Amino acid sequence: MPFLELSLACTEAQQPRYERALEDVGALAVTLVDAHADAPDEQAIFEPGVGEQPLWHEMVLTALFEAGTPREPLLQALSAADEALDWSRAEFRDVEDQDWERAWMDQYEPLHFGARTWIVPWNHELPDGADAPDAAVVRLDPGLAFGSGTHPTTALCLQWLDTLATAGVLEGATVLDFGCGSGILALAALKLGAAAAIGVDNDPQAVIATLDNAQRNGVDDRLQVFLPQDEPVATYPVVVANILASALIGLRETIAARCAPGAQLAMSGILAGQEDDVIAAYADVLEDIDVACMDGWMRVCGRRR
């Protein structure tokens, strides 16, 4: 059936009150989108840092109501639900019914990284090349959590893992994916030859999504996922952390402690211009530091001293 859509911009502080008022007057669904999703800004990143809330400072809130809902009475009801909120900026449009999840998922196409790594949506046929005997194919449901391979930070990390696999570094290794999101990096490492992987994320939904994707890829017996407070104390020969630059710097002691001597470490989620601060924070931890850039995003990698 068709729907009436209401949308308006709000701040992170206002969002809970707006959402509560919309639900109180009968909204069928309420969703949030970053107000600056098209800008190269830290608030536009889709994988929040470990310990950070997955919300943006400014966002667009969208609510669906039954088709034919009178607009003016709806605004009056919303004003009565929370008189302190400004509903005058609300915009309306009529939207036709469709399979929303399928329409969104159909935007995603198979992606190729490095020599062997492929990210293929679960509902998509294998493309040419992904059916090669040595192809490392990750079947992913990008709808479950942040991380589908389309963002430059994720792409940079996938390319790095593919390079490690070519050099034989991943073979038989245990890999830590710190801030795992959908689990895409841990899954790729396993497909590329790692013996086991550990995922850590502060979002319980990410834990669920990673486990679901691990089952989808037949590697759930080799992948464990933890919330930060449940993470076992251990060191690893390969560590990847795709989180914000501020989190990488703030969690420097935590991340360094996860790296075994000689371990390979890659860090991304770093905007161009922030890499020097990250390098400075890890200068006494890493050697053979290398920096890569893609579309205004950086990857810093090196070997644990």
Amino acid at 220: D
- Give the C-alpha separation, 211 to 39, whole Å: 31
Is 154 one of the annotated binding-site residues? yes
240's CB contacts (< 8 A; 6+ apart) are: 157, 160, 161, 175, 176, 177, 178, 185, 189, 265, 266, 267, 268
Is 213 one of the annotated binding-site residues? no
Supply φ then ψ for residue 183, to 5 degrees: 85, 10
- 286 with 305: CB under 8 angstroms? yes
What are 237's two structure tokens? Answer: 């020969």
Question: Positive or negative CA dihedral for 203, 207, 208, 214?
Answer: positive
Is 51 one of the annotated binding-site residues? no
Burial class (CB in 10 A: 0-12, 13-18, 19+), 151: buried
Sole residue written with tokens 């251990």: 234
Sole residue written with tokens 């550990």: 198
- 210 with 201: CB under 8 angstroms? yes
Residue set of the binding site: 154, 179, 201, 242
Numbered residues of the known binding site for S-adenosyl-L-methionine: 154, 179, 201, 242
